[in-house]
């Protein structure tokens, strides 16, 4: 192959890899093939799984939210027993009581199997905003543990930076 000419490509019959001949040498490019083969196996990033869980839960879609938790999921909310079903029941009650709840994600941090989500939550137009931080621990692509802390936004705050 002459310098400056376009590479010649062919698919390897055994591995399915795309082989590209360029300047007399072969380079194997597996990325396209891998993307096609693994596309359905890919999981969402942990950040996205965590925010999806929160948005689904806030909108009352609890079965969808809890589809991504481990069988041994536990949480640390002091108002409910520590198992998934107790927290899920509490979330269902909250959604019934506050059907207009909104959750707006402000920041998300990921470090290994840990994700923290800082959100602005409101339970209705006349309700005060609440700053909430949810912390998740993952096992693989499933939520294994959850902590949450919240603080209602004061009517008058001397802090010019605000909570969000």
Per residue in 76-128, pLDDT (tens digit) is 999 999 999 999 999 999 999 999 999 999 999 999 999 999 999 999 999 99
Which residue shows structure tokens 């010019």? 160
pLDDT at position 43 is 75
What is the pTM (predicted TM-score) of this model? Answer: 0.73
Sketch out the chain's domains with CATH numbers. 8-38 (no CATH), 46-152 (3.10.450.50)
* Whether residue 30 has pLDDT greater than 50: no
3-state secondary structure of 149: strand
Please tell me the predicted confidence (pLDDT) of residue 61: 97
Burial class (CB in 10 A: 0-12, 13-18, 19+), 23: exposed
At 35-88, the pLDDT tens digits run 444 444 557 899 999 999 999 999 999 999 999 999 999 999 999 999 999 999
Res. 19: pLDDT tops 90: no
Question: Residue 159 has which token pair?
Answer: 């802090």
pLDDT at position 26 is 42
Question: Cα(88)–Cα(71) distance, rounded to whole angstroms?
Answer: 14
């Amino acid at each position: 192959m002459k310098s400056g000419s376009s590479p010649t490509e062919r698919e390897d019959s055994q591995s399915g890899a795309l082989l590209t001949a360029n300047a007399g040498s072969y380079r194997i490019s597996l990325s396209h093939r891998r993307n096609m083969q693994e596309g359905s196996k890919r999981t969402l990033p942990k950040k996205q799984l965590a925010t999806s869980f929160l948005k689904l839960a806030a909108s009352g879609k609890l079965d969808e939210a809890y589809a991504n938790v481990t069988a041994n999921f536990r949480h640390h909310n002091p108002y409910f027993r520590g198992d998934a079903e107790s927290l899920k029941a509490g979330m269902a009650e909250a959604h019934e009581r506050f059907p207009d709840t909104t959750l707006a994600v402000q920041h998300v941090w990921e470090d290994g199997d840990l994700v923290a989500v800082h959100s602005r939550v409101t339970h209705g137009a006349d309700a005060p905003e609440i700053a909430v931080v949810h912390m998740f621990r993952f096992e693989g692509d499933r939520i294994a543990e959850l902590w949450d802390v919240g603080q209602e936004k004061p009517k008058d705050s001397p802090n010019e930076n605000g909570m969000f």
